[in-house]
Amino acid sequence: GILSLSLPLSLSLCLACCLSLCLSLCLSLSLSLSQEKQYVGFATLPNQVHRKSVKKGFDFTLMVAGESGMGKSTLVNSLFLTDLYKDRKLLNSEERINQTVEIIKHTVDIEEKGVKLKLTIVDTPGFGDAVNNNECWKPITDYIDQQFEQYFRDESGLNRKNIQDNRVHCCLYFIPPFGHGLRPVDVEFMKALHEKVNVVPLIAKADCLTPNEIKKLKDRVREEIERFGIKVYQFPECDSDEDEEFKQLDKELKECCPLAVIGSNTVVETRGQRVRGRLYPWGIVEVENQSHCDFVKLRNMLIRSHMHDLKDVTCDVHYENYRAQCIQDMTSKLTQDNRMESPIPILPLSTPDVETDRLIKMKDEELARMQEMLNKMQQQIHDGKDQ
Amino acid sequence: MSEVAVPEMMMPPPAMPAAFQVEKPVPGPGMGDFSYVGIDAILEQMRRKAMKQGFELNIMVVGQSGLGKSTLMNTLFKSKVSRKSVQATSQEKIPKTIDIKSVSHDIEEKGVRMKLTVIDTPGFGDQINNENCWQPIMKFINAQYEQYLQEEININRKKRIPDSRVHCCIYFIPPTGHCLRPLDVEFMRRLSKVVNIVPVIAKADTLTLEERDFFKQKIREELRANGIDVYPQKEFDEDAEDRMINDKIREMIPFAVVGSDQEYQVNGRRLLGRKTKWGTIEVENIAHCEFAYLRDLLIRTHMENIKDITSSIHYEVYRVRRLNENNTAIAHANGTGQILS
């Protein structure tokens, strides 16, 4: 009797449970649906841009500069896992006496996970090798300027469909590890280039230094860079909303500059693994071991985290400076000689006039200021003499 | 026979233990960790930068009064973005001349920020004599191109030139059911050359499905006959994949849309729609109207492409024309009569 009573009770309990479950399910479903309802869909925009870039592919131009034998070619091969220099013939010292600084370009197409990169390496053999190295950086600065000028012409031209961007995005400068800091040629070179290209100084062949020596050299180089006013490439500040790991990595990177690197074209076996390294009787230097050198940091910085920023700074800062200078030179020439044809199409004459008027006014003010300063100085000298 | 003692330093070096084999690495895939440079990380870098910068979109709506332009904009972006939602006026008076009114909003979704500008053109096609009513609109579009051009040729130009160019013009065709009116043809013919036009059939809830299909076919024929190239333009398809996707879209335009910013309860769900005595029209139901297709085209799939065509094709055409005009002017001023290339 009791059993027969309890059965329908339990059944109805079950039913009630089921109903409430269904209800809650329905509620949650409708909630998610209404959330779905608020979704417009333009959050897909980054993906749309992404798709376009993957189709087009990227390009990057890297310049390497430094004396012969600093390990530039080896480092480039190690960075991009290529063999760009297999047909190279090294000159002997007699042949090098008459060698001038050349500019040689190597281009290689790399594809990884569907992303295509057209990498151009600009090599500068002969730099710093001669007996008299006066102004040996001139062919290099000329090359960089030529690329800017080419881009400026293309950008101002009529057909802008397929502009080739050959501007140099980054220049790795190899500082020899043998000395006690920067040599005069290092300082002059970096100062000639720091306003035209992103200069990243590296300490080359770092495997000939002990950790203490490396630290001393880095501190010395950093101090000299600051003292001589060399504007090397600055890593952008981290956003406040980046995760802690990224911020930590960024901090470490900034503290390690200039990076001390080692490159290798050979594979050795150590601790059961095959790694890129250099085999010495006293041990094996592993290129990708962070405690041995900063190669991994350089690779990560150059390729995995700052490639885009390097290109941006080249476009927004170095190129814009060049362009502004170029236009100013052109407009000053035009005002001197009204009948000269403009080499590059420029727009309504009203614009250059307004700009030149403004420039003339600026120069006038500057002149007035300098005149005032001169007068003050003269007055001071005069007063000093009297006493 | 004397033995010459070989000094130690001339002895050959000890043989390399077999464990230390030195080999030259072969570049390329199939080498495990050796083959990964990491260049695909640049996509993530670009994405981060794009998210930081945000995006801009400028949409213009053109059509006679009462075709539901403002409502459609509100429906598209699920918020009150149109001019009417911003203005306080309750009475709508038809202006004597065409007004161009821009309203900008900053909207955000899933961390992606967008500055949306809706450009309304009240008064278009409402007068008795509508001749040349497209002129103020053409002038406005060209003025945006001019502004961008001036900024671009400036000596000290901004890092990111603010983009006020009209990316897309939605043209509202009244649902007559017959064919395009002369005003529609005139307007679209002129403007398809300077801006991306997306024609839509407004207030499509007055057409049955058969009438809708017939009307669309008629419109497509007339567009073809008059040489009007609306978005997505056939000549700008980049590759076979694009062509395939765009061909499907071209067979469906113009989209027959219904807009609404009122929600109703349908089958236990709250949906945007229009409630009538004979049923409720659900805006996002593709069996009822093609609003969802329009939204997907404009926002979810082709937004970047629309902006791209505006900047790399329409804007470039304008720029070339301006530069050539200027070169002729300079040549004449110089008295050389030579046109510079």
pLDDT tens-digit map of A220-252? 999 999 999 999 998 877 766 667 777 787 788
- Give the pLDDT confidence score for residue A46 in this predicted structure: 81
Residue in A52, A308, A345 nearest the CB of B327: A345
Q: What is the least distance, in Å, from the CA of A333 to any CA of chain B?
A: 15
Look up residue A64 and give its two tokens. 């390497």
Strand-strand pairing, A273-280 and A283-286: antiparallel
Q: Among B22, B159, B299, whose Cβ lies nearest the Cβ of A41?
A: B299
Kindly report, residue by residue over B186-233, the tens digit of the pLDDT.
999 999 999 999 999 998 888 888 999 999 999 999 999 999 999 888
Q: Is B311 exposed, middle or buried (0-12, 13-18, 19+ CB in 10 A)?
A: middle
Contacts 24+ apart (CB under 8 A), A283-287: A284/B20, A285/A207, A287/A78, A287/A262, A287/A263
Residue A38 has pLDDT above 80, yes or no: no
Question: Which among A127, A154, A169, A171 has a CA at the least distance from the CA of A312?
Answer: A169
Distance of alpha carbon B190 from alpha carbon A352, whole angstroms: 33
Contacts of range A181-190, beta carbons closer than 8 Å, 24 or more positions apart: A181/A217, A181/A220, A181/A221, A181/A224, A182/A221, A182/A224, A182/A225, A182/A228, A185/A128, A185/A133, A185/A136, A187/A224, A187/A228, A187/A230, A188/A137, A189/A65, A189/A127, A189/A128, A189/A136, A189/A137, A190/A225, A190/A230, A190/A232
In angstroms, the Cα distances linking B63 to A162, B123, B169, B171 are 37, 8, 10, 6
Judged against a pLDDT cut of 70, whether residue A272 lies above it is answered with yes
Take residue A283 and report the two structure tokens written for it: 């041990």
Q: For position A27, what pLDDT does the model report?
A: 47
Residues 6+ apart with CB under 8 A from B61: B69, B70, B72, B73, B118, B119, B120, B121, B169, B170, B172
What is the predicted pLDDT for the residue at B147?
92
Q: Is the pLDDT of residue A307 over 80?
A: yes
CA nearest A200: which of A60, A315, A63?
A63
Helix H or strand E encompassing B27: none
Interface test with A, best of B20, B108, B153, B317 (most A CBs within 10 A): B153
Using the structure block, give the residue that is written with the tokens 């900034």: A254
Which tops the pLDDT comparison, A36 or A72?
A72
- Best of A27, A35, A48, A83 to mutate (most B CBs within 10 Å, chain B): A48
Rg (CA), chain A: 31
Given an 8 Å threshold on Cβ–Cβ distance, is A306 in contact with B50?
no
Mean of pLDDT values over A315-323: 91
Pairing of strands A267-270, A259-260: unpaired
Residue B42 belongs to a domain: no
Residue B112 reports pLDDT greater than 50: yes
Q: How far apart are CA A232 and CA A191, in angstroms?
A: 9
Runs of H (alpha helix) within chain B: 41-53, 69-77, 83-86, 135-153, 182-191, 209-225, 240-250, 291-295, 303-309, 315-334
Residue in B51, B155, B268 closest to A46 by CB: B51
* Pick from B304, B306, B335, B317: nearest CA to B55: B304
DSSP state of B23: B
Q: What percent of chain A has pLDDT over 70?
A: 74
Say yes or no for a CB contact (<8 Å) between A114 and B40.
yes
Tell me whether residues A49 and B304 touch, CB distance under 8 A. Answer: yes
Q: What is the pLDDT of residue A96?
A: 64
B337 touching chain A per CB within 8 A: no
pLDDT in the model for residue B194: 93
| % of chain B at pLDDT higher than 90 | 24
Please check whether residue A45 touches B, CB under 8 A. Answer: yes
Q: What does the alpha-carbon distance between residue B177 and residue B235 come to, in Å, rounded to a whole number?
A: 29
Residue B256 lies in a domain: yes
**pLDDT on residue B238:** 80
pLDDT at A146: 93
Contact A158 B320 (CB under 8 A): yes
Q: Parallel, antiparallel, or unpaired for β B197-201 and B168-173?
A: parallel
Among A residues 138-167, those touching chain B with beta carbons less than 8 Å apart: 156, 158-161
* Range A50-82+98-334 has CATH code 1.10.579.10: no
- pLDDT, residue A384, reads 63
pLDDT tier at A148 (50, 70, 90 boundaries)? Answer: very high
The verdict on a CB contact (< 8 Å) between B308 and A52 is yes
Q: What is the mean pLDDT of residues A137-161?
A: 89
pLDDT category of residue B130 using cuts at 50, 70 and 90: confident
Which range, of A104-113, A195-204, A298-307, B17-26, averages the lowest pLDDT? B17-26
Contacts of A304 in chain B (CB under 8 A): 38, 41
Mean pLDDT of A151-175: 88
Residue B109 has its nearest CB partner, among A40, A81, A114, at A40
- pLDDT tens for each residue of B149-163: 998 888 888 778 889
**8 Å CB contact between A130 and A93:** no
pLDDT at B199: 94
Instruction: Please check whether residue B189 lies inside any domain of the structure.
Output: yes
Residues of B in Cβ contact (< 8 Å) with A347: 149-150, 153, 322-323, 326
Q: How confident is the model at residue A127 (pLDDT cuts 50, 70, 90)?
A: confident
Mean pLDDT for the stretch of residues B164-183: 90
DSSP string, A52-105: HHHHH-EEEEEEEES-TTSSHHHHHHHHHT--TTTT-----HHHHHT-----EE
Give the residue among B174, B165, B309, B288 at the shortest CA–CA distance from B231. B309
3-state secondary structure B248-316: HHHCCCCEECCCCCCEEEECCEEEEEEEECCEEEECCCCCCCCHHHHHHHHHHHCHHHHHHHHHHHHHH
Query: Is the ipTM beyond the 0.85 threshold?
Result: no
- Are B295 and A52 a contacting pair at CB < 8 A? no
DSSP string, A270-316: ETTEEEEEEEETTEEEETT-TTT-SHHHHHIIIIIISHHHHHHHIII
Interface of B with A in 62-121 (CB under 8 A): 76-78, 107, 109-112, 114
Nearest CB to A112; choose among B20, B37, B156:
B37
**Using a CB cutoff of 8 Å and minimum separation of 24, what contacts does A26-31 make?**
A26/B268, A30/B268, A30/B269
The whole-angstrom distance between A220's CA and the closest CA on chain B is 32
Residue B33 pLDDT greater than 60, yes or no: no
Contact B34 A276 (CB under 8 A): yes
**Integer Cα distance of B31 and A83 in angstroms:** 15
Q: Using a CB-CB distance cutoff of 8 angstroms, which residues of chain A are in contact with residue B291? A: none
**Inside any domain, residue B35:** no
For the segment A30-58, the average pLDDT, to the nearest whole number, is 69
Identity of the residue numbered B274: R
Helix then strand then coil, % of chain A, to nearest 5: 55, 15, 35
Peptide bond into B7 cis (omega under 30): no
Q: CB-based contacts of A12: which residues, under 8 Å, 6+ apart?
A: none
Of B153, B268, B334, the CB nearest to A351: B153
Distance between B340 CA and the closest CA of chain A, angstroms: 8
**Which of A29, A34, A42 would you mutate first to test chain B, the one with the most B CBs within 10 A?**
A42
Q: Given a cut of 80, is residue A8 above it in pLDDT?
A: no
**Residue B251 structural domain:** 51-81+94-322
Asked if residue B113 has pLDDT above 60, the reply is: yes
Is A308–B52 a contact, with Cβ atoms under 8 angstroms apart? Answer: no
Sorted by sequence, the CB contacts under 8 Å of residue B68 that are 6+ apart come out as: B172, B202, B203, B258, B259
Q: Over 50: is that where the pLDDT of A282 sits?
A: yes
Range of weakest confidence among A183-197, A219-233, A324-338, B265-279: A324-338
Tell me, what CATH number does B250's domain have? 3.40.50.300
**Of A269 and A246, more confident:** A269
Mean pLDDT (chain A, rounded):
78
Query: Which of B35, B155, B242, B270 is the mutation pick for testing A, counting most A CBs within 10 A?
Result: B155
* Residue among A120, A170, A347 with most chain B CBs within 10 A, to mutate: A347
Average pLDDT value for residue range B110-116: 86
Q: How many domains are contained in chain B?
A: 1
